[in-house]
Amino acid sequence: MPLKPRRIAAVPNTILDVVVDIPVTDRMVASRQNRQQESPPVPPPTYESTIRVAATSSSNVTIASGVTSSLVSPSTTAVDERVVSPQIQRQELVPPVTSSRGRLPRVREHIQTAVDLPAPPHPDNDNRPQLRGPQIVTTSISVEMDLAQTIISASHGDKNAQVSLGDMYRDGKRVPQDYQVAMDWYLKAVEQGDAAGQQRVGSLYDHGFGVSQNYSTAMDWYLKAANQGLAIAQNSIGVLYDKGRGVPQDYAQAMDWYFKAANQGHAASQFNIGFLYCYGQGVSQDYAQAMDWYLKAAEQGYADSQNNVGVLYAKGYGVLQDYAQALLWYLKAAEQGHAISQFNVGMFYNHGRGVPQDYAQAMVWHLQAASQGQAASQYSIGNLYRDGFGVPQDYAQAMEWYLKAAEQGHAAAQNNIGFSYKQGRGVPQDYAQAMEWFLKAANQGNAAAQSNIAFLYQNGHGVPQDYTKAAEWFQKAADQGYELAEKALGTLRDEVKCVLMCLSHL
């Protein structure tokens, strides 16, 4: 008897003819056990000035950029920032020499040594699928058959296939992205007590995908899965305690849940334990323990951990400082497309750490990171163009790259845009624009920008000359230990005293 094809609506406007001889059972479907746990992709990162990254992948954070530059004469110009890492800074400045008239003469700006940028702290996207728009389903027979097989198996009650199909709709993979349809398939798996389905439902509530965000409901679903021993759910519970989402913040509880998952080899949890040891949250600070846990995850190819192992070697935290080892680990992550590590490799070439100094190679790595929106690399590319390191000097190109970083809130880039307007580098000289950009950076606590605003007030550039306001802004920068502002403030006070004495003799 000839077999009749069963018509399956796989995706809108696509009908697949699949010949079915006998009812499909779980045993007839290729094993999908490996799909029980997600491998969430890495979303775009945002940076914080910590050595912390997150639950399963890096996320976005704000780069705190301290800066360094040489103080120029209060009567002539402002402070431009050099090539730096947007992290904790180390000053390498030549103390300015006071002239016979008590003014600080113009001196060359100095390059600041970069400090390695760690992967960001726990992101919001633990277990979170990378967002992408609906994709056109390929006409490849193998792909269509795989999708058809998944649909058939899910329709016949295969819980693993139900979760896999839910993932496809959640991610927009081979089907239009649809969180509600994803939820429906996850719930079908949940009806069979499936832990992966429970975790997926929790994740949708955690991030508000297709439902109102609700951390308490997410916790309830994560607990169902975690109590069945699902590591990714245990990690997710740890993140909720770590962040204080839906529960009071409790690092000890977070550590307990991370350990449950880490002991099953869950890389994100191993990383998170490493971070807690690194910063002494819920445990005594212990860089050696942090390194041990980072390495467990790094050896599984977990890019965030590979980057942070590199940071510990670069800084000499818990291990002897070793730039060669740091670079080795940065490269492992960078070759996976990890933007922060690509930035760090770029800075190593920029400053000749563990490798010969090579500005052209620095540019190559910064461009890779910058293409992913990494603001620190965009800023660094701007500096390379400004200084003509590895490329012809081009102030206009420098300005373009500074703007890319500044639009993400990068304070050092905002300061350098202000300086470009102050000096007329790559743009017409415009003190009003300079002040606007200096203020953006200064309001983020950028000491160089605060000092530059003081110079504008001191010299009456774009604003009425005002020694009082100049002193106030110099003081803001000096309070942060900005040495050049401290010296400029002292010089300003001497000038004011001199003026007052002259007036008193009139």
Is the pLDDT at 138 greater than 90, yes or no? Answer: no
CA-wise closest residue to 206 among 247, 248, 172: 247
Q: For 387-446, what is each residue's pLDDT tens digit?
A: 999 999 999 999 999 999 999 999 999 999 999 999 999 999 999 999 999 999 999 999
Is the pLDDT at 121 greater than 80, yes or no? Answer: no
Kindly state the percentage of the chain with pLDDT values over 70: 69
Torsion of CA 57, 60, 61, 65, to 10 degrees: 110
Kindly state the percentage of the chain with pLDDT values over 90: 65
pLDDT of residue 182: 96
User: Other CB atoms closer than 10 Å to residue 320's CB: what's the count?
Assistant: 7
Is the pLDDT at 97 greater than 70, yes or no? Answer: no
Confidence of residue 114 (pLDDT cuts 50, 70, 90): very low
- Mean pLDDT, residues 467-487: 92
Q: For 274-283, what is each residue's pLDDT tens digit?
A: 999 999 999 9
Torsion sign across C-alpha atoms 308, 310, 313, 314: negative
Distance CA 368, CA 205 (A): 34
Q: For 240-254, what is each residue's pLDDT tens digit?
A: 999 999 999 999 999
Select the more confidently predicted residue: 505 or 413: 413
Which of left, alpha, beta for 427 (phi over 0: left; psi -120 to 50: alpha)? beta
Secondary structure letter of residue 282 according to DSSP: S
Low-confidence winner among 90-99, 303-312, 330-339 (lowest mean pLDDT): 90-99
Q: Output phi, psi for 9, to 5 deg.
A: -85, 95
Distance CA 343, CA 47 (A): 12
- Mean pLDDT, residues 446-465: 95
pLDDT of residue 145: 59
Fill in the amino acid letter for 24. V
Q: For 25-41, what is each residue's pLDDT tens digit?
A: 333 333 333 333 333 33
Distance CA 184, CA 80 (A): 56
Contact present, 73 and 105 (Cβ < 8 Å)? yes
Low-confidence winner among 25-34, 176-185, 270-279, 338-347 (lowest mean pLDDT): 25-34
Which of left, alpha, beta for 255 (phi over 0: left; psi -120 to 50: alpha)? alpha
Confidence of residue 321 (pLDDT cuts 50, 70, 90): very high
Per the prediction, the chain carries an average pLDDT of 78
Confidence of residue 115 (pLDDT cuts 50, 70, 90): very low
Low-confidence winner among 181-190, 332-341, 374-383, 478-487 (lowest mean pLDDT): 478-487
Radius of gyration for the chain, computed over Cα atoms and rounded to the nearest angstrom: 28
Fill in the amino acid letter for 94. V
pLDDT of residue 496: 67
pTM score above 0.85: no
pLDDT of residue 490: 81
